[in-house]
Each structure stands twice: as C-alpha cells, then as structure tokens.
Amino acid sequence: MRRSTSDRIAASARPVTNLASGWYVALPSGELKRRPRRITLFGDSYVGWRGNDGRAHVQSAICPHAGAALHGGKVVDGTLECPFHRWRFDESGACVFVPGRRPPARAAVTALPTRECSGYVWAWYGSGAPRYEPPDLPDLESRQVPGIRRFRLADPTRATTRRILENTYDPDHLVALHGLTVTGEARIAFQDPREGTAGDGAQDDKPEPRCDATLTWPAYRGVLGTVSNVFGLNAGEFTLRMRGWASCQEIEYYADGRRLYRMILAVTPIGEHHSIQHINAVVDPDGAGALGWLRALVHRAEVQVAARQDLPIFDTLLPGDRHGIYVPGDEAVRRFRRFYQQWVEVAEHG
C-alpha cells in the first residue's frame, strides 16, 4: 500500500520550492543494485547507479542527445550507457563514449554530490559543493555488534521537509498527540553554538551547520506509567538528544542516562508537498535473554506508533506559516524555522 502510494506521488511530482540546502535520501542502499534505478527527487527525474567499484551515483535521468531515460540503460565498463544510442556517461556526468565518433563537448548530465552511509544513498541539494557530510551511524548496517536490533520505516506524506523535521522541536505535541502522560512537563533546550558542537565549521557570514537540541521529560504516569513499570522501562527522566541539520536529524534516546536507541530521521523530497519520511533505527542491548528481546520490541513499537500517529496530521497540514496562534511552547519550532530558512537561502544563492 505504501509502495503504491509512493509511486503515485512520484508520477505527479512538481518542482519543490522553499527547500533547504542539504543532504536528502535518494533511496535506501539496498534498493540500488546492479541495474540503474529511476529516482524522483526535488520534483525532477534522476537515475541512481553503481560503478564497477560499487560506489553509488545520482545523476539527471534524461540523455542530452535524444531525451531517452537513462534508467532504462545499463552500466558498461564503469559508465552509464543510454539504451537508445549507447552514449556513455561517467560518474562526473560527462559523456565519454559515442559509437563511431568523438563525444560532443557539451554532452553531459548533471551529477549530484552523492554519499552512501547509515543505510541510505544521499544526494546533495543546493548550489556549490556540500558544506558538511551526512550523518553516519555504522551500527545501522554493521552485523558485528551482538545484541542490537534494527528497524526501518519509509512513509509517504504530503508534508514538506521542514514540517517533518520541525516536529522533533515540538515538545507540546508529545503529550497532545502521542499521549505521553508524564509527572511534569516536557522541556527543550538548545546547544549553545559557542560550546563548539553546533557551531563546528561555521563562519561569520554563513549559517550554523546544525540546530542541536535536547528534549527531556519526567517519568510516565497513568496507564503508560503502569505498563512501563511492569517492563522496567520507566525512568526518573527521559532524554532525547538531537543533532539537527536543515535536511535530516540524528537522534539518541536515553532513560536515566542509559541509551536505549539511536536513529536517523531523513526525508526524500519527491515533489511539492510530497515527501517520504525515513527512519532508520538501532536499538541498543537492554538486558539479556527474553526480557532484553521484549524491551527491544517495545522500543521499536514506540517509534513506529509515534510515526504512524504523525502521518495523518502531516497529510492535512496547511502549507505556509501565515496561520495559527503562537504560544511560548512554539518558540523552539519557530527557532528551527529561522534556522531552516537560512539554508533555503544557501540553496538559492550559495
């Protein structure tokens, strides 16, 4: 059902507006195999393919010669071959081979900066070279660490990238939407750029690379507290630590200082108001035997249920910011919006 929805959205994608410069998920790593793969990204058509060395590349999907779709071609001698006239393009997008003649000097396709880590193939959006690297959590792919468990979600939605990411900066919705009844209140605090973490690599005339924040809330109560106590999952204080870029997030979740899971929250902007929300999570060992396994299932359910509760809201949110009444609890969201808009300007003007 979700796959068919994603395909339908891709078919009707329109160019994305007000999109921040940054790294976006082109597709999960496991979906890019030996054959080229069609990708709809930023409202345009791209092709993903792997060279002989296995490295992933994302390039514009239309051959500049006669307009054939390059995802219908194949990889030959480490180049992408067009299915129509067998023109070949290297990883930089340059045409390096035309049967029987020299390649025209202007023959090239646009090649997006591409990285592969944390279980995804990432493509950079915006003018100029990438200003930072995408989040890299090796445990999301490694099979060498015993006891950890992984899971993924990929959900099409009509929300924009900013709407998806700003949700993490909204502590009030934890109680209002997700029903996290707690003994006090949820709070959010931002990392001071002067302390180094959020400001690494920043320059005076450029925006901060990240908008890091920490959310905390006290012990669960009510039915949720009762269930949590039964499984030994309640705590005096829960902490969600976030490294937040304008296009993705790296999140760690703690209970009384003990890390329970880590995850990547990322987005594929298919078209205007059409996105895929990606979550790739790894649950840390939380006890041995059956109890540890059961706790891991509970942590997985926490993330999945919360994501499914968000989706109907995402699909009906009004576009733009000229509506609503802001209260003090919205200040963190508004701060992220200001940060995000700085990276929109980077995408548009460099």
DSSP line for 64-75: TTT--BGGGSEE
Tell me whether residue 49 is in a domain. Answer: yes
Q: What is the pLDDT of residue 95?
A: 98
How many CA atoms, within 13 angstroms, populate the side-chain half-sphere of residue 342? Answer: 15
Q: Are residues 258 and 144 in the same domain?
A: yes
Choose one of 78, 98, 125: the last residue of a domain.
125
CA 128 to CA 4: how far, in whole Å? 35
Nearest residue to 56 via CA among 75, 32, 39: 32
| Residues 112 and 198 grouped into a single domain | no
Q: Are residues 319 and 233 in the same domain?
A: yes
Instruction: Report if residue 144 sits inside a domain.
Output: yes
Grouping H, G, I as helix, E, B as strand and the rest as coil, residue 309 is helix
Strands (DSSP E) contained in 82-184 are: 88-89, 95-97, 111-112, 114-117, 120-125, 149-157
Q: Tell which of 97, 125, 153 closes a domain.
A: 125
Domain check: are 96 and 156 in the same one? Answer: no
Q: Which pair of tokens denotes residue 47? A: 């092709």
Is 276 inside a domain boundary? yes
> Distance between CA atoms of 120 and 146, rounded to whole angstroms?
22
- What is the number of structural domains in the chain? 2
Collapsing DSSP to helix, strand or coil, 219 comes out as coil
- Is the same domain home to 266 and 148? yes
Output the domain CATH number for residue 78. Answer: 2.102.10.10
> Are 174 and 85 within one domain?
no
Is residue 10 one of the residues assigned to a domain? no
Report yes or no on 203 lying in a domain: yes
User: Can you tell me the distance from the alpha carbon of 341 to that of 317, in angstroms, rounded to the nearest whole number?
Assistant: 19
Domain CATH for 285 = 3.90.380.10
On whether both 144 and 121 belong to a single domain, the answer is: no
| 119 and 143 inside one domain | no
Determine the pLDDT at residue 201. Answer: 46
265 domain-assigned: yes
Q: 88 and 117 share a domain? A: yes
Is there a domain that residue 4 lies in? no
> Are residues 151 and 26 located together in one domain of the fold?
no
Number of helical (H) and strand (E) elements in the chain, helices listed first:
6, 18
Asked if residue 130 is part of any domain, the answer here is no
So what's the pLDDT on residue 223?
Answer: 62
* Domain enclosing residue 143, as ranges: 138-349
Q: From first to last of the 350 residues of the chain, give the pLDDT tens digit.
A: 445 555 555 555 678 999 999 999 999 999 999 999 999 999 999 999 999 999 999 999 999 999 999 999 999 999 999 999 999 999 999 999 999 999 999 999 999 999 999 999 999 999 889 999 999 988 777 665 556 678 899 999 999 999 999 999 998 888 788 877 777 788 899 986 555 444 444 455 678 999 999 999 887 776 666 666 666 677 888 899 999 999 999 999 998 998 988 999 999 999 998 999 999 998 877 655 666 677 777 778 888 888 899 999 999 987 776 667 888 889 999 999 999 999 999 998 87
Residue 147 and residue 121 share a domain: no
Choose one of 125, 147, 162: the last residue of a domain. Answer: 125
User: Do both 287 and 323 map to the same domain?
Assistant: yes
Answer whether 304's CB lies under 8 Å from 281's CB.
no
Quick check: 248 and 229 in contact, CB under 8 A? no
